[in-house]
Chains A and B, each alone.
Chain A
Amino acid sequence: MHLIPQSWSHWHILVSVFPSIGLLFLLGFFVTALIANDAAMKRICLVLFAVLGLLAIPTYVSGDYSMAVLSGDAKISRGLMNSHFVWGLAALAALVITGALAIAELWRFHRFGRVSDQALRLVLLLAIVTFGLMVASGELGWEISHHELRLNPATQRTSQIWSHEHMILNHFPTVGLVFALAFYIIALVTKNIVMTRATLVVFVICGILGVPTYVSGAASMWALTDPGVPGISKAMINVHRDMALLTLFGLAFTGVAAWIELWRFRHLRRFSDWSLYLVLAFAVITLAVGAETGHLGGQINHPEIRLPTDVMPTDPKAGWTPAIELLINHVIWFVPWQTVHFFGFSLIFGTALAICLRVLGFWKSLPFSAVHRLLPLGVFGVVINVFSGMLILLADSHRYLNAATFAPKIALVTIGAIAVLYFSLSERLWKVGAGQSAPIGAKCVAALVLIAWTGVITGGRLIGYV
């Protein structure tokens, strides 16, 4: 592997994800800092806005040189490249202005010891506008070399919408981990509780996003190989899938370790140093595996980033993912893991039902903190089902992924899991004592959680019947 780019296209692919998807994560941290009114976190966000502003330079230069190189390629549309260039230029200009304003505010803090709230709100507004422009630019950029997105849907057995979703989703856990790690290390050094909690939340979100990322990747494999797309190698995809499976479990371990610390913090009002460093170790390892996964994924459809010295795999049956596919198809492995999957759903739904019913007004004699103790049971159920669900998926992925209810099921898993995070974080809900009603917002989330997990179980059971 060569993680250090050796071509302008490779540089552009790598650098451009930080001012776009990274900006979204930074916005999340910035909004948290503004809501929590955490001065240190605000300043760190300003520093990172400035860093992203500076990244506009390598992004522009690498993009400009890539255009020069790719303009000789007959398969590349010049019209698309020009549109991407115009939107990209607007996005980078907005990014530079945001970064400059952030630097000005940092200077003001250095000079007068305070930052202006109005200026911070202006940075937020500019960053949101920049992100909007980045989305438009990124969308046009992806279409430049991903010709499969323009294939006639009538000729496809598996929709290319999966490929499109995968190329967007797969950047979130990796780039998210980079930003989360930056904030996390600073939080550990400065012992900043708000920043630590915010970062643990991002680790959990990255873990949850690992599921739709892996599933959309599995579907993309079918979309790109059945029927085959010229230039796409199944052997290369399998190498990527092997690493993706490791990344998925790394994200799950990181996410669960982070969530357990958030849950414990609620009851103990302090963190355990040992647990925080365990989360750090999981996150660093997962980022390393995720970076390699991303690199191998990029090589599937970007011949321009391959080097003459790269040894490309040729055996489409090599690797442990095809081996797991063979193994899990034996009834003696499939039936036990399917049984475990049903136990997982029982744990998730039972826990969600008990907690949501309290939030909705049942068992008012119990304070919310009492039912909060049940949450780990549901989270362990999610872990069981991520592991067993991936094994079941590998048994017959083409059939599952093309079932009408599978995509809604995975979308609802993501929504349901993120909504459950609310129960771990809400200050107002935590303060609901015996005999008190939960806030109306919490009741809406409880209803959403119940609908989502009911939909997940129903969607799963209907696979193969509708």
Chain B
Amino acid sequence: MVYGSTAIVLMVISVVACVLGLTFAGLYYLNKSVDRSTASGSTLSARDGVG
């Protein structure tokens, strides 16, 4: 089957958007969970001299 350039470009944009979108969403929520816990003072960080 022969695909047109437009179809290939649209497919590339779709797949890249989906994969990177999932990646950055995962990263956002992972960092948010750490930020929330750190801000609430429930943890000690390395900067406090606790390893």
Contacts and interface: CB of A to CB of B under 8 A. Distances in A.
Q: Do A and B bind each other?
A: yes
Interface of A: 260, 263-264, 267-270, 330-333, 335-337, 339-340, 343, 347, 367-369, 373, 376-377, 380-381, 384, 388, 427, 430-434
Contacts of B12: 335-336, 339
12 contacts: A263-B30, A267-B43, A269-B44, A330-B3, A331-B8, A333-B11, A335-B11, A367-B46, A369-B47, A377-B23, A433-B46, A434-B47
A335 B11 CA distance: 9
A377 B20 CA distance: 11
Given A267-B34, A340-B19, A430-B51, 5 more contacts: A264-B33, A331-B3, A367-B46, A432-B46, A433-B47
Interface of B is mostly: helix
Contact of A336 (B16, B37, B44, B45): B16
A340 B16 contact: yes
A260 B44 contact: no
A368 B51 CA distance: 12
B46 A431 contact: yes
A229 B16 CA distance: 41
Closest 10 CB pairs of A and B: A336-B15, A369-B46, A431-B51, A380-B23, A336-B12, A332-B3, A267-B34, A268-B43, A340-B19, A336-B11
A339 B8 contact: no
Contacts of B14: 336
B8 A384 contact: no
A400 B13 CA distance: 26
A430 B44 CA distance: 12
B30 A267 contact: no
Contact of B42 (A268, A330, A340): A268
B30 to A, nearest CB: 5
Contact of B51 (A270, A330, A381, A427): A427
Interface string B5-39: 00110011011100110010011001101100110
Nearest to B34: A267
Contacts of B7: 332
Nearest to B1: A330
Contacts of A331: 3, 8
B42 to A, nearest CB: 7
A268 B37 CA distance: 7
Nearest to A383: B23
Nearest to B26: A380
